[in-house]
Amino acid sequence: MEEKRRRKLQAEFPEILGRNKKIIQSLYFVPEFDVLLSCNDTLAFTRTIPNESIQLVVSSPPYNIGKPYEKKIEFRRYLEWQTNVLRECVRILKPEGSLCWEVGNHVNSGEVFPLDVFFYQILKEKLGLKLRNRIIWRFEHGLHAKRRFSGRYEVILWFTKGDEYVFNLDPVRIPQKYPGKRHYKGPHKGEPSANPLGKNPGDIWDFLLKEWEEEVWDIPNVKANHPEKTIHPSQFPIELVERLILALTNPDDIVFDPFMGVGSSLIAALLHDRRAIGVDKEEVYVKIAHERVIQALNGTLRRRPLGKPKYEPKGTEKVTQIPLEWRRT
């Protein structure tokens, strides 16, 4: 019955060419696509992907906390299931590829289990990957706890398969706060000390406060007033994945999301000329993901733009002025 329902859903979405992009829905992997969506069990689908064919695996898996789209299971069984999924993800990852797992906390009877701790053990000790960053994504809004401090961050574990991996820093640099800073001693004394392309965004992705406590966001979470909000209860923003895609892949690389939800990872890949694969077992989310991909191709998708400023100096400070050396280049 389940197989029949999935094949019916597949028939509703014929191959579409938009902006010369081939969008396909299939129960299993097919080689020719720009965007490939699947309404299927993630293990069943992932096992059909060829070895070492994916540059970036990026996802936010179910946290096993009883969200509407997940059936809560015993924690040990949950970790065993996730280990099986991740083992397949490692199999399909290229030698120079990356895996980014965005997780929060599992909560049981008021006790918090930080999922990144458990996933580190799985990915490092069982599957042999190497951790490159533990990125803290901090946000302001969320559920309010009554018997503990409210959770206001999640973690992105960035692992690589080996020591030779893709990392493009320049596309994700953020503006220098004080571009006019200069070396005050040494052989470069008096010369600009900042990088003209911007600075490394670091491993804490959050917001800053402007004067008078005006909030200027870096990467906010998707809540009621966010332009990307859909019916998905745990949707992450497109720009969160964009930063990872720009840094860890090159054009035409394949990005795979084994728990795609409403397709934010696919859209992020598509916006930057990458190919994308996503799978989800929930029919309603696959339909929404498909619609959002089409909207992205048509230029009608509501989204928060990548790189929205989080802090803007007044412009009158000496250190905010562009050095003459940069103007001459």
Distance CA 216, CA 228 (A): 18
Write down the pLDDT at residue 246. Answer: 95
Cα 95 from chain centroid (whole Å): 20
Residue type for position 56: L
Q: What's the N-to-C CA distance of the chain in angstroms?
A: 65
Q: Residue 177's CB: how many other CB atoms inside 10 A?
A: 14
Report phi then psi at 155, rounded to 5.
-125, 135
Average pLDDT, the chain: 82
Contact present, 22 and 32 (Cβ < 8 Å):
yes
Q: How far is CA 169 from CA 166, 234, 243, 294, in A?
A: 10, 28, 10, 29
Mean pLDDT of all residues in 173-182: 88
Mean pLDDT of all residues in 131-143: 83
- Greatest CA span in the chain, whole angstroms? 73
Q: How far is CA 167 from CA 9, 131, 147, 158, 163, in A?
A: 38, 14, 41, 11, 11
Q: How do residues 103-122 score in pLDDT, each as one tens digit?
A: 988 888 888 889 999 999 99
Write down the pLDDT at residue 191. Answer: 92
Write down the pLDDT at residue 71. Answer: 59
Task: At 155, list the tokens.
Answer: 């973690």
Grade residue 236 by pLDDT with cuts at 50, 70 and 90. confident
Write down the pLDDT at residue 62. Answer: 84
CATH code of 2-171+205-328, in short, is 3.40.50.150
Percent of the chain with pLDDT over 90: 51
Strands 275-280 and 35-39 come out as: parallel
Cα 179 from chain centroid (whole Å): 29
Mean pLDDT of all residues in 130-155: 83
Q: How do residues 271-320 score in pLDDT, each as one tens digit?
A: 899 999 999 999 999 998 998 898 888 878 766 666 565 445 667 777 77
Distance CA 78, CA 238 (A): 27
Q: Which helix (H) or strand (E) holds 189?
A: none
Which has the closest alpha carbon to 215: 88, 101, 327, 312? 312
Write down the pLDDT at residue 30. Answer: 95
In this structure, of 19-28, 79-88, 206-215, 225-234, the range with the lowest mean pLDDT score is: 206-215
Write down the pLDDT at residue 17. Answer: 40
Task: At 204, list the tokens.
Answer: 């804490």
Write down the pLDDT at residue 310. Answer: 47
Write down the pLDDT at residue 211. Answer: 34
Q: What is the pTM of this model?
A: 0.79
Grade residue 230 by pLDDT with cuts at 50, 70 and 90. low
